[in-house]
Amino acid sequence: MSAVAASIPGAAAVSVDLAVPGAAERLADEAVAVHGRLDIAIVNAGLGFAGRFAAMAPDRIDQLITVNLTAALRLTRALLPSLLERDCGYLAYVTSIAGRTGVEGEAVYSATKAGLDAFAESLRHELRDTRVRVGVFVPGVIDTPFFTNRGTPYSRRRPRPVAVQPVAQAMVRMIERDAAEAYYPRWLRLPVALRGLAPCTFRTLAGRFGGS
């Protein structure tokens, strides 16, 4: 993160552990202090876990909920008053296809991303009479250290992980258009649509091809 900030004129890296109480509010204060205002927030922090829910340690459940969901809500709460005062800004939430369809072996992760998705949708309605926009970015399998950090490498042959750069570019386009949502890859809309239109068929296919 520091290396990226060093390559951008006027940028600064601010680092906190969002699992620590009060860290989200501290991050908001420090980020705004860099230039005295904030125009765009990309809420992307997330932890993963793969395995049977019955074998998941209780403290790991709490950690995922805190980092993936609670911290995002608290960060938004800390940033929103200044955005509303200026009546301008964009809040982008990075969820996951797991939050829209559910994924075998990722019950808690899927639940946190579904919760973030519902929060963003509700907040968008709440802010409809303002110029503060809300967008949800729904990625699939991205080639990052996420899977190594969760303790279980990604082992499926398909879908193949996609590179980070086009994903970032797709998010930039979403923000530039003030769009409410975007998928990457775009074909991820298909399983979501199938789940809504033909849930039995979707569950049959998910049982055959699903998993992490």
Retrieve residue 186's tokens.
């775009």
Question: How far is it, in rounded angstroms, from Cα 166 to Cα 136?
Answer: 17
120, 165 Cβ separation under 8 angstroms: no
Retrieve residue 108's tokens.
């808690």
| DSSP state for residue 92 in the 8-state scheme | E
The Cα-based distances of 78 to 22, 40, 140, 165, 191 in angstroms read: 10, 14, 29, 29, 35
**Three-class DSSP category at 193:** helix
What type of residue is 129?
D
Cite the active site residues.
109
Retrieve residue 71's tokens.
């911290």
Burial of 85: CB neighbours in 10 Å, binned 0-12, 13-18, 19+? exposed
